[in-house]
Chains A and B, each alone.
Chain A
Amino acid sequence: MTPFTYARAYDVAEAVRLGQAGTTKYLGGGTNLVDLMRETIERPTALVDVTGLSSAIEGRPDGSWLIGCAAKNTAVAEHPVIRERFPVLTRAIVAGASAQIRNMATVGGNLMQRTRCAYFYDDDGSRCNKREPGQGCDALGGFNRMHAILGGSDQCVATHPSDMCVALSALGAVVHLESASGKRTVPLTEFHRVPGHEPGIETVLLPGELITHVELPPIGFSHHSNYRKVRDRASYAFALVSVAAAISLDGGSIKDVRLALGGVGTKPWRSWKAEAALKGQRPSVAGFRSAIDAELADAKALRDNSFKIDLARRTVVAVLSDLTGVSA
C-alpha cells in the first residue's frame, strides 16, 4: 500500500469537510478498498472512515425506508421489516460474499465496490482502460467468460459485481448524497455509469461527494419478490447471472413488475424493456421469454460468454414463473 493518513468522521458535515482533498477516499468496511489498496490499484493519500455515520434503518411516514450508509450488509439482511417487505433485498445480500464480509461491508461501500475483472486486478501484467485510461483492454480478446453482455463498450466489458445493487435497482432505490455544495438524490439506476469512453468513471458522484443514505421507496408489491443467483459453485462466488424481480397481479394479468439483472451488465441492469413488455400481459412462459428477449436483443456476446444470454433468459423465466405460479 502507498502511505495514507486516516481520520474518523462522526457526522456527515465532518466527513464531507475531511473528504474534500482530491485523493481522499471514504472508507466503509474496507472489504474491497483495502484489497485494492494492497494491490496499489487504489492509491488514496487520505482515508476518511465513515463507519461511524448513521447505520440506522428507519421507516418514514410516507412508507419509505431509509438506510444509513454505515449500515452493515448483515444488519440490512436481518432487519425484520426488510425481510418481510423487501425479501428480494435480504435474498440478494445473503447471496453475496461470505458472512464475515457481510458483517464488515457497509451499504454505502457496496454501491462503490469495483469490478472483479481479473485484468483490472492484474496491475503488472494486463492492459486495462479502467485502471489506466487509453491503455487498452485485455479482456476484450482474452478470457472473458465472466464479462458483461450488456452495457459494454469497445473500452471495457467489466461486470458490476454487486448482488445488493441488483435488488436495489429493481426496488427503485434512491441514493442520498451530500457534498460541500449541498445535498441531492439520485435514483440507483442512474448512480452507476456504463463505461463508454471513460470506464474509469463508474458513478455520477462528484469529487468529495458522500453517500449518506439509501432510500427504499414504498412499493405495494415489494413483498412479492425474489432474487436468484446462478454461479459456478453453490456459495461464495460472483454471479454468472442473477435476477431480482418483484411482481403484482391484478385480475390475472401483470399490473406492475420490476426486473433487474446482475452478472451480465457493466452496471446493475434494470430491465426496463422487459418490464414494459410484461405489463398488462397475462403471465405465461412464452410471454416471459419474449419480454426478456426484448431486453437481451441488445446483448453482445464476447468469445467466452455467449452462454450468459441463454442463462439470463432461462433464469428470468424461472424467477417470474415462480413468482406468478406459472409452471415453467
Chain B
Amino acid sequence: MKFIINGQQMTVEADPRTSLLDLLRDHLHLFGAKKGCNQGACGACTVLVDDGERILSCLALAVQYDGREITTVEGLAGEAGMHPLQNAFIEHDGFQCGYCTPGQICSALGMIAEWKRGVPSHVTGDVCSSQISLSSDELRERMSGNLCRCGAYNGIVDAIETYVEGAK
C-alpha cells in the first residue's frame, strides 16, 4: 500500500485487516491518533484525508485508503512552529490529560472546512442557508463526535472559537 502521510510518500506492507489507525500507530509509529474506543464512539482517532476531510481511522481499513493523502496531528506543525489551533488549545486549557487532543484538533480543522463549505448541522435553523454562523451551539454540535473524559469542553470550544476568529 502507498500513502502520502503528513506530506511524505510511504509504502507499507500490511494485512487487509489492518485499520488505518493501527497502520499509523503500529506500522509507522505515528502515535498522535489515539485508540480510545476502537469502535467509532469517541473520536480520539480522527485524522484528515485528502483535502482535509475528517474521518475515524479506527473504522477505516487501511487498504481502503491506499493511494490517499492522510494528515495526522504530527503533520499540522509548520517550520514556524505549532499550528495556531494547537497554540489556541494551550492558551485556553483545551485539555487536561491530553489523550483526546490530537483527535479534537484534527476534527476541529475538518469541522471548520465543513462549516465554511456551508454543510448544515443538526442545530442549523434553516438548512437551506448558505451562510451559517458558527455559534457556540453549532460548534458544540459539530464537535459532538469527539469525547473528552476530562470534561475540558469549555476550553476546547474557546480554543476553536479563538482560532476561527484569528483566521478571519
- B:85-115 near A, CB below 8 Å: 107, 110-111, 114
On whether A87 and B128 interact (CB within 8 A), knowing A101-B145, A235-B122, the answer reads yes
CA distance A101 to B39 in the complex (A): 11
A-B contact count (CB 8 A): 100
Is the beta-carbon distance between A35 and B40 smaller than 8 angstroms?
yes
Q: Which of B1-55 contact A (CB under 8 A)?
A: 15-17, 19, 38-40, 43, 46, 53-55
Whether B43 pairs with A27 at a CB distance below 8 angstroms is no
Instruction: For B120, list chain A residues within 8 Å (CB).
Output: 77-78, 83, 90, 94
B56 sits at the interface (CB 8 A):
yes
B17 touches A3 (CB 8 A): yes
Specify which chain B residues have a CB less than 8 angstroms from the CB of A98 in the assembled complex.
40, 43, 144-146
Complex: how many Å from CA A98 to CA B114? Answer: 13
- Contact size class for A? 35 or more
A1 at the interface (CB under 8 A from B): yes
Given A98-B43, A235-B122, 9 additional A-B pairs, CB 8 A: A30-B61, A78-B119, A98-B146, A99-B107, A99-B114, A101-B40, A103-B54, A104-B55, A236-B145
B16 in contact with A5 (CB, 8 Å)? yes
On whether the beta carbons of A101 and B121 are closer than 8 Å, the reply is: no
**Contact A30/B119 with A38-B38, A38-B39 known, Cβ cut-off 8 Å:** no
Is B127 a contact partner of A87 (Cβ separation < 8 A)? yes
In the complex formed, the residue of A with least CB distance to B15 is A3
A13 close to B (CB within 8 Å)? no
Interface residues of A in 40-70 (CB under 8 A from B): 47, 49, 51
A30 touches B54 (CB 8 A): no
Count of interface residues, chain B, beta-carbon cutoff 8 Å: 37
Q: Are A100 and B145 in contact (CB under 8 A)?
A: yes
A235, B110: Cβ atoms closer than 8 Å:
no
CB distance from A105 to the nearest CB of B (A): 9
User: Which of A74, A94, A100 has the most chain B CB atoms closer than 10 A to its own CB?
Assistant: A100
B129's closest neighbor in chain A, by CB? A83
Assembled-state Cα–Cα distance A34/B19 (Å): 9
Q: Which of A93-123 contact B (CB under 8 A)?
A: 94-95, 97-101, 103-104
Quick check: B121 and A103 within 8 Å, CB to CB? no
Contacts A35-B59, A77-B120 hold; do A99 and B110 have CB atoms under 8 A apart?
yes
Whether, in the assembled complex, A91 has its beta carbon less than 8 Å from a beta carbon of chain B, the answer is: yes
**Structural contact, B118 and A99, CB atoms closer than 8 A:** no
User: With A27-B64, A103-B55 as given contacts, are A83 and B17 in contact (CB-CB < 8 Å)?
Assistant: no
A6 touches B59 (CB 8 A): no
Collect the chain A residues with CB atoms within 8 Å of residue B54's CB.
Answer: 99-100, 103
A105 to B144 Cα, complex, angstroms: 17
Q: How far does the alpha carbon of A101 sit from the alpha carbon of B41 in the complex, in Å?
A: 10
Q: Which residues of B contact A27 (CB under 8 A)?
A: 61, 64
What are 25 contact pairs spanning A and B, CB under 8 A?
Answer: A6-B63, A30-B59, A30-B64, A31-B40, A34-B19, A35-B40, A49-B64, A74-B119, A77-B119, A77-B120, A78-B118, A83-B120, A83-B128, A91-B122, A94-B121, A94-B122, A94-B124, A98-B145, A99-B107, A99-B145, A103-B110, A104-B55, A235-B144, A236-B144, A236-B145
Q: Whole-angstrom distance between the alpha carbons of A98 and B46 in the complex? A: 11
Q: How far is the CA of A104 from the CA of B48 in the complex (A)?
A: 12
User: For B59, what are the chain A residues with a Cβ–Cβ distance below 8 Å?
Assistant: 29-31, 34-35, 101, 104
- On whether the beta carbons of B144 and A51 are closer than 8 Å, the reply is no
Q: Which residues of A contact B17 (CB under 8 A)?
A: 1, 3-4
A84 within 8 A of B: yes
Contact B55 A91 (CB under 8 A): no
Q: Select A6's contact among B16, B19, B111, beta carbons within 8 Å.
A: B16
Would you give the shortest CB distance from A243 to chain B, in whole angstroms? 15
Query: Shortest 9 CB-CB distances between A and B: which pairs?
Result: A98-B145, A235-B144, A6-B16, A236-B144, A78-B119, A1-B17, A100-B56, A94-B122, A83-B127
Separation of A27 and B63 alpha carbons in the complex (Å):
12
Q: Of residues 17 to 39 in A, which have CB atoms within 8 Å of B's CB atoms?
A: 27, 29-31, 34-35, 38
CB pair A4–B16 under 8 Å, yes or no, is yes
Which A-chain residue is minimally distant from B121 (CB atoms)? A94
Instruction: Mark contacts of A159-174 with chain B using CB atoms, 8 A cut-off: 1 yes-contact digit, 0 otherwise.
Output: 0000000000000000
Question: Roughly how many angstroms separate A74 CA and B51 CA in the complex, as a whole number?
Answer: 15
Question: What separation, in Å, do the CA atoms of A51 and B68 have in the docked complex?
Answer: 14
